[in-house]
Amino acid sequence: LFRSFAIELKFGPYAPDIDKTTGIMGTPFSDLFGDSGTPVGGRPAWQLLTQVEFDYQFFSRLGTLGVGLSGGYYRISAPQFNYFPTATGSAVCTAVDNGSGGRTYSAPPGIDASGCFSGDSNIFNLVPLELLLIYRFDWLDRRFKIPIVPYVKGGLAYSFWWNGTSGSFVANLQFEKSGSAYSPLANGPAVSGGTAGLAVHPGLALDLGVIDRQAQQIMDRELGVNRISLFCEMNYAWMTNFGVGSKLNLSNLTFSAGLLAEF
């Protein structure tokens, strides 16, 4: 039976390589969003990335070939840094090694480190979109009822991002760095942007119809759901805007798991 459409819902950990962005000064993403267990300059803790994918399957012989569109949402938050006035502008606390693989914060001279953070929050948001070519080797499942379906996806990716605060959905840049100090900006630009790149997702799916073939036939006949699968896939995203312009590096290597329904 030829399956024309598929819908996926998947979840997985995510943490972008923003601190590897070409030309960036220091490790600001790690400094702001890292917790006490994050090494100085290390990647912040993983947060949940939720994604939905819709596929159109247009060819089926030894496997199924299709195109897909995927979209998702990621969010990470942390308390805002306080800015302290200095003779040359403003300064912030800096992350230092705590001697046990984590971090603590050191304030500028004469400042108590307990005041490094304010009661407000910085919130980094990301919406990744992908246009994919998909091949599923499901011939063994269709022909011999062997329920393991290997597959691979690959294509173009683009991620929108923006930074918000407790009181603003999209924040504006309020300080700019000059040397080791920060100077205030009266009307700074919006802290938002986007990065293009490539994405690859090899994975394995398990046809859940193997549990109860009769129930699968009923769902097919009554609801038009031909196959429901549980899957796990590797996610590699090379997100550097192909080296063009000053864009955040949103590259990542991780995994996700979820459910696939084919119609």
DSSP string, the chain: ----EEEEEEEEEE---GGG-TT--S-HHHHHH--TTSPTTPPPPPEEEEEEEEEEEEEESSSEEEEEEEEEEEEEEEEEEPPEEETTEEE--EEEE-SSSSEEEEPPTTS-GGGSEEEEEEEEEEEEEEEEEEEE--HHHHHH---EEEEEEEEEEEEEEEEEESS-SS-B--EEEETTEEEE-SSPPBSEEEEEEEEEEEEEEEEGGGT-HHHHHHHHHHH---EEEEEEEEEEEE-SGGG-SS-----EEEEEEEEEEE-
pLDDT at residue 193, rounded to an integer:
95
Q: Per residue of the chain (263 residues), give pLDDT as tens.
A: 556 899 999 999 999 999 999 888 788 899 889 888 899 888 898 999 999 999 999 988 889 999 999 999 999 999 988 888 776 677 888 888 988 888 988 888 888 878 888 889 999 999 999 999 999 999 998 888 899 999 999 999 999 999 998 888 898 877 676 666 666 676 778 889 999 999 999 999 999 988 877 666 667 666 667 889 999 999 999 999 999 988 999 999 999 999 999 99
Q: What is the pTM of this model?
A: 0.87
